[in-house]
């Protein structure tokens, strides 16, 4: 939990932070007043849908990791733009499915870095890199020696590419990771869509404009382009709650979720 009375000098607590806003949506404790105020604006704009979206995002992430560990045999997971630790972290899900799995978290946020170092100290199968997902060459060169790239791995780009603006070419970024991965690797992507609620997305973008990263919700066609060159796993790129849902999954409070997700295999 963050200490609001004595925040770290390295943190900008007066500016909303997307990782801390996400933590607030999930009901976590790692946020400051500026984060809560911005998050509440987004909750109001979305009429509460953002909270459904982030919970479904976490559930999708867990299902995708279990699928890769159990059904595909992936043992190395690279979680890009990992965000703040919360319940059912990637390493918890992966190690429960495959005790010999290894997870490397990557984030360039100082709050996340602090928690990442704590994870690093408690589990030898978990590592943390303070790095920018937009620099794949630097990330691959900094991976632990024990993280094997001679066999398929899973790269998780969950709820992070909509913070990469068009001029930084998120499509080329995904392609760069795919080129660096061995055949049979998988890339997991979730991304906020703009088709169904364009006016609400535009209002939400204004809120995030004052935060540490701009929100770029995109139309479905642009999200599908992220999977170019990958073999998309069934059921395709779909609303998160439709991607291999658990048999006991509860129905959404709203009938439609404006976040798409999918898993692509590197040929």
- In a domain, residue 166? The reply is yes
- Peptide bond before residue 260 is cis, with ω within 30 degrees of 0: no
Nearest to 73 by CA among 147, 155, 153: 153
- In a domain, residue 11? The reply is no
Pairing of strands 186-192, 153-158: parallel
- In a domain, residue 156? The reply is yes
- In a domain, residue 256? The reply is yes
Q: What are the Cα distances from residue 28, in Å, to 35, 44, 132?
A: 12, 19, 24
Task: Please state, as a whole number, how many other Cβ atoms lie within 10 Å of the Cβ of residue 196.
Answer: 14
Q: How confident is the model at residue 73 (pLDDT cuts 50, 70, 90)?
A: very high
Q: What are the Cα distances from residue 86, in Å, to 20, 29, 34, 46, 174?
A: 11, 10, 20, 23, 25
What is the value of pTM for the model shown? Answer: 0.92
Nearest to 261 by CA among 49, 68, 57: 57
- In a domain, residue 43? The reply is no
- In a domain, residue 139? The reply is yes
Per-residue pLDDT of 123-168, as tens digits, reads 889 999 999 999 999 999 999 999 989 999 999 999 999 999 999 9
Is 53:85 a contact under the CB 8 Å cutoff? no
- In a domain, residue 85? The reply is yes
Backbone φ and ψ of 131, nearest 5°: -155, 165
Q: Report the CATH number at residue 134.
A: 3.40.50.150
- In a domain, residue 20? The reply is no
Domain count of the chain?
A: 1
Give the structural domain span for 131.
48-265
């Amino acid at each position: 939990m963050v200490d609001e009375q004595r925040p770290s000098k390295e943190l900008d607590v007066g500016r909303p932070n997307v990782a801390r806003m996400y933590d607030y949506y999930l009901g976590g404790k790692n946020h400051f007043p500026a984060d809560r105020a911005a998050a509440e604006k987004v909750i109001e704009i979305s009429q509460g849908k953002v909270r459904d979206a982030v919970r479904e995002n976490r559930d999708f992430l867990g299902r995708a990791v279990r699928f890769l560990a159990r059904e595909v045999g992936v043992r190395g997971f690279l979680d890009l733009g990992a965000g703040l630790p919360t319940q059912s972290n990637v390493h918890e899900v992966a190690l429960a499915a495959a005790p010999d799995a290894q997870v490397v978290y990557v984030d360039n946020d100082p709050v996340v870095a602090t928690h990442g170092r704590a994870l690093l100290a408690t589990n030898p199968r978990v590592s943390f890199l303070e790095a920018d997902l937009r620099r794949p060459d630097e990330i691959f060169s900094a991976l632990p020696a024990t993280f094997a790239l001679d066999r398929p791995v899973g790269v998780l780009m969950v709820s992070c590419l909509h913070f990469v603006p068009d001029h930084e070419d998120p499509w080329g970024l995904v392609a760069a990771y795919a080129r660096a991965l061995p055949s049979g690797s998988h890339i997991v992507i979730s991304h906020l869509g703009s088709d169904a609620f364009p006016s609400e997305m535009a209002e939400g973008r204004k809120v995030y404009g004052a935060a540490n990263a701009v929100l770029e919700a995109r139309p479905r066609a642009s999200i599908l382009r992220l999977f170019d060159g990958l073999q998309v796993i069934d059921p395709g790129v779909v609303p998160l709650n439709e991607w291999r849902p658990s048999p006991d999954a509860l129905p959404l409070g709203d009938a439609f979720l404006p976040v798409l997700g999918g898993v692509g295999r590197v040929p």
